[in-house]
Structure 1
Amino acid sequence: MLAGQIKPTAGEVVLCELDLPKTKISDESTAFMGYCCQDSPLWPDMTVKQHLEIYAAVKGMKKEDGDQVIRRVTEALELKEHLDKPARKLSAGVCRKVCFAISMLGNPTIVLLDEPSTGLDPKGQQRLWRAIRAAFRNKERGAILTTHYMEEAEAVCDRVAIMVSGKLRCIGSIQQLKSKFGKGYLLEIKVKDSNHLDEIHQEITRLFPQAARQDRFSSLLVYKIPMGSVQSLSQAFLQLEEAKRTYNIEEYSFSQSTLEQVFLELVKEQEKEDFDLDTSFRWKHLRTESI
């Protein structure tokens, strides 16, 4: 809807202080916008270079300016070796890089990024995330990015909105969401001697009476600790350091809920609400020939 591909069902959109009623979104009003769509828009028989040149021209860039920008973006995204390849011979990950490069041509003020790193390997994801951060850092432009990958949201987003069952459940900085919706801390302890597991468990339950053990392996203990059990982080770390020396603990980590865990908690709440709304079975009599 924001890109003007389909008509909005209701409401208005305000872009760059321009009030755009739902029936008046035009090519002129979206000229300052970049769009990296989820489905590949590439023509199968055209090369990567041809795509970039065409979109640079569509954005109104002069040829010499376009060539300079194309050279810079292909170096940043490691696309040089793919410039002369037709789109049909590109991997899914390279296609995503090309789509992102196209969306950034012409220095758009607003960029819509729909699942930008889908199909990329971990190294490619990291490089693309760095490119996204660099493109928007300290500049008069912004982006809306949609993703199911919480690590991607943490890596590139200043503010995060979580939608569950089509409804906006929360919006704020990552730290705000973790503080408000995170159910507690996660404590992971790796021990040198597995014979001391029971003693360490007793010590942890003494330090944090409401601690709930999640997993236990030969040398690893994992606990979920409610926020109410931790009055002071500095005191918690002091106690854990003392326990580390006393029980010969190899290492430990004490961390907040991840954004992934916050998302899962909100989904669980929604599922519980949906379940509570209707717990009855509905039976429908079928004719013999329909069975």
Structure 2
Amino acid sequence: MVADNVVLQVEGLCFAYPECGVLDQWQMALPAGLALVRGDESSGKTTLLRLLAGELRPQAGQITLQGLSASDAPKAYAQHVFWADPRSGELDKLTARDWLGSLPARYPQWDAAVLATHTEGFTLHEHLDKPFYALSTGSKRKVLMAGALASGAPLTLIDEPVGGLDKPSVAYLARALTQVAGQPGRVVVVAHYEALPGVPWGTVVDLAG
């Protein structure tokens, strides 16, 4: 049973690659707000996000988002999740503007004003008409995070957010995350090896690796 204040419930999650195990009977319950998944390299942070996104299927266990089961209703579940892997080359041929322009049709709670704020805050204007393959690591991550934060998705997943970011962009990211911390019915899960200073994390989950 999922408690009334829990947005995302994970129970008995098991996942292993052929060469190694990752999660064994793993569980967590997240209320609305900011959640940090913290762990060292190869501790399973990205794998967990991919499982939460429905990109990987667990060998056992249940993931439930606002009453929707990832295994029983995968299409409906996926419509409530934002996930864009910063390491993927899937978007390489698209321009940042075209990709961002495709998102309102996928996310009913999309907020164009929020996107405009983050485009300015992350200084993305000069990069919008570049294809993803031409973006630096930092610029690509900033485009993906601007889309993530503007999506309004009940489950928003962000992986290793500060890779390639300069200090002003890291400071802006902390402010941007703080702004979404109080949104009702929405949990933003950030995977990183340490807590970002100044961010009001509601939950911190440590992966031992």
User: Which bin holds the TM-score, normalised by the shorter protein?
Assistant: 0.5 to 0.7
Amino acid at match of 1:161: V
1:6 aligns with 2:50: no
Q: Distance in 2 between matches of 1:15 and 1:60?
A: 16
SS of corresponding position for 2:163: coil
Amino acid at match of 1:14: T
Alpha-carbon distance change, 132 to 40 in structure 1, aligned in 2, over 3 angstroms: farther
SS of corresponding position for 1:5: coil
Residue in 2 that maps onto 1:107: 152
Residue in 2 that maps onto 1:92: 137
- Runs of 4+ in structure 1 off by over 4 angstroms are 65-69
Q: 1:29 aligns with which of 71, 77, 81?
A: 77
Q: Distance in 1 between matches of 2:129 and 2:155?
A: 29
Alpha-carbon distance change, 59 to 113 in structure 1, aligned in 2, over 3 angstroms: same
Q: CA deviation at 1:120?
A: 1.0
Q: Select the structure with the greater relative contact order (CA < 8 A; seq sep ≥ 6).
A: 2
Residue in 2 that maps onto 1:73: 118
Amino acid at match of 2:170: Q
The TM-score normalised by the length of structure 1 is 0.48
Specify which structure has the higher proportion of strand: 2
Q: Distance in 2 between matches of 1:67 and 1:126?
A: 22
Specify which structure has the higher proportion of helix: 1
1:127-166 residue pairs with structure 2 within 5 A? 127-148=172-193, 150-152=194-196, 155-165=199-209
Q: 2:128 aligns with which of 79, 83, 88?
A: 83
The TM-score normalised by the length of structure 2 is 0.65
| Aligned-CA RMSD value | 2.5
Gaps spanning 5+ residues in structure 2: where? 1-50
Q: Distance in 2 between matches of 1:117 and 1:74?
A: 16
Gaps spanning 5+ residues in structure 1: where? 166-291
Aligned length: 159
SS of corresponding position for 2:94: coil
Residue in 1 that maps onto 2:67: 17
